[in-house]
């Protein structure tokens, strides 16, 4: 495991709890992460990683674009596959043409029996992130999708997140290690070294945005915020606010939705 990741967990464990991944009940969960660019699959991964490690879920990640720098697209495709291999995700590369992407996503959902989708939210600042969120909603509506939909954040914060989950030690280390496979990107902007701080800040924000104002903050170090929806016949319904630590069965979100 990456020595930097170990140093981050060692540092933050002086101040907060860092829970470990523990096995929960196996569940038939097939996840699709719609990553706007190669590297976003790592940043969006925590919920999916815990489902994979704890519930034996199958996780697929689709790179919706390869970035705007055509000279780097070949390298980024390789980096994407390498990162997915670290996390044990099945990787998919979508066509460069936007008018083909929806049909390709539909094909993955049908073929892999996807019942859990993760994409950026509609105000995640970067144009490719916003278009990916729009793509997810378009596809779910057109195929009358049934399942769970999580909206993630990175460049633009979610205004009203309703789900805060703990990122376990194992999930943090895997996502960190996978992120380092994007060598071209982290050499340009070493955001892997800011990952831990970002996850700590998500817990701070979640204490007020997901829980009630003025409530005590969770004791865990690392967390991720999402906007969680139940999807029935392609229509979205927001789930109740929840804060879930390392002991929680994240697969039970399907039961909470019913």
Complete domains list, the chain, with CATH: 3-18+25-247 (3.40.50.10320)
Res. 170: pLDDT tops 70: yes
- The whole-number average pLDDT for the span 33-42 is 97
- Burial group, residue 194, by CB count within 10 angstroms (0-12, 13-18, 19+): exposed
The first and second tokens of residue 148, run together, are 């769970």
Q: What is the pLDDT of residue 1?
A: 58
pLDDT in tens, 132-157: 999 999 999 999 999 999 999 999 99
- Could you identify the residue written with the tokens 């925590």? 46
257: confidence class by pLDDT, cuts 50, 70, 90: low
- In the DSSP assignment, the letter for residue 220 is B
Show the tokens assigned to 221.
């170090």
Residue 20: its pLDDT value, please? 96
Other Cβ atoms less than 10 A from the Cβ of 64: the count is: 27
Report CA Rg, the chain: 17
Predicted local confidence at residue 67, as pLDDT: 82
Say if residue 107 is exposed, middle or buried (CB neighbours under 10 Å; 0-12, 13-18, 19+).
Answer: exposed
With 0-12 / 13-18 / 19 or more C-beta atoms within 10 angstroms meaning exposed / middle / buried, residue 152 is buried
Assign 258 a pLDDT band (cuts: 50, 70, 90): low
Judged against a pLDDT cut of 70, whether residue 63 lies above it is answered with: yes
Give the mean pLDDT of 74-94. 96
Angle subtended by helix axes 73-87 and 169-179, to nearest 10: 160
Residue 35 burial by CB count (10 A; 0-12/13-18/19+): exposed, middle or buried?
buried
% the chain with pLDDT above 90 = 87
Q: Please report the pLDDT score of residue 132 as a whole number.
A: 97
For residue 215, name the pLDDT band (cuts at 50, 70, 90): confident
Instruction: Give the whole-angstrom CA distance, residue 227 versus residue 257.
Output: 13
CA–CA dist 203, 216 (Å, integer): 11
Least confident of 89-93, 159-163, 253-257: 253-257
pLDDT exceeds 70 at position 167? yes
Q: What is the pLDDT of residue 173?
A: 96
pLDDT of residue 224: 98
Cα separation of 5 and 193, whole Å? 9
Average pLDDT over residues 170-174: 97
Query: What is the per-residue pLDDT across 103-129, written as a single tens digit (0 to 9) for each?
Result: 999 999 999 999 999 999 999 999 999
> What pLDDT, on the 0 to 100 scale, is given for residue 211?
84
- Could you tell me which residues are beta bridge partners of residue 162? none
Biggest CA–CA distance in the chain, Å, is 50
Spatial distance between the Cα atoms of 216 and 19, rounded to a whole number of angstroms = 18
Spatial separation of the C-alpha atoms in residues 64 and 131, rounded to whole Å: 10
pLDDT at 213 over 80: no
**pLDDT exceeds 80 at position 18:** yes
């Amino acid at each position: 495991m990456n020595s930097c990741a170990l140093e981050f967990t060692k540092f933050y464990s002086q101040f907060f709890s860092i829970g470990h991944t523990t096995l929960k009940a196996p569940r038939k969960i097939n996840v699709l992460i719609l990553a706007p660019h190669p590297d976003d699959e790592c940043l969006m991964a925590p919920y999916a990683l815990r489902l994979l490690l704890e519930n034996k879920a199958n996780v697929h990640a689709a790179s919706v674009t390869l970035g705007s720098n055509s000279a780097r697209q070949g390298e980024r495709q390789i980096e994407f596959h390498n990162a997915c291999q670290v996390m044990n995700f099945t990787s998919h590369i979508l066509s460069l043409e936007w008018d083909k992407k929806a049909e390709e996503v539909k094909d993955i959902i049908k073929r892999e029996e996807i019942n859990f989708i993760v994409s950026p939210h509609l105000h995640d600042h970067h144009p490719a992130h916003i278009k990916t969120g729009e793509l997810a909603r378009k596809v779910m509506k057109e195929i009358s999708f049934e399942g769970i939909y999580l909206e993630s954040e990175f460049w633009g914060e979610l205004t009203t997140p309703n789900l805060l989950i703990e990122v376990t030690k194992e999930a943090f280390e895997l996502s960190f290690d996978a992120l380092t496979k994007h060598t071209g990107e982290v050499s340009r902007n070493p955001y892997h070294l800011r990952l831990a701080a970002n996850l700590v800040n998500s817990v701070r924000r979640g204490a007020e945005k997901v829980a009630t104002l003025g409530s005590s903050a969770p004791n865990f170090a690392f967390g991720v915020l999402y906007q969680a929806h139940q999807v029935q016949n392609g229509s979205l319904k927001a789930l109740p606010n929840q804060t879930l630590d390392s002991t929680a069965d994240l697969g039970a979100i399907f039961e909470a939705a019913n």
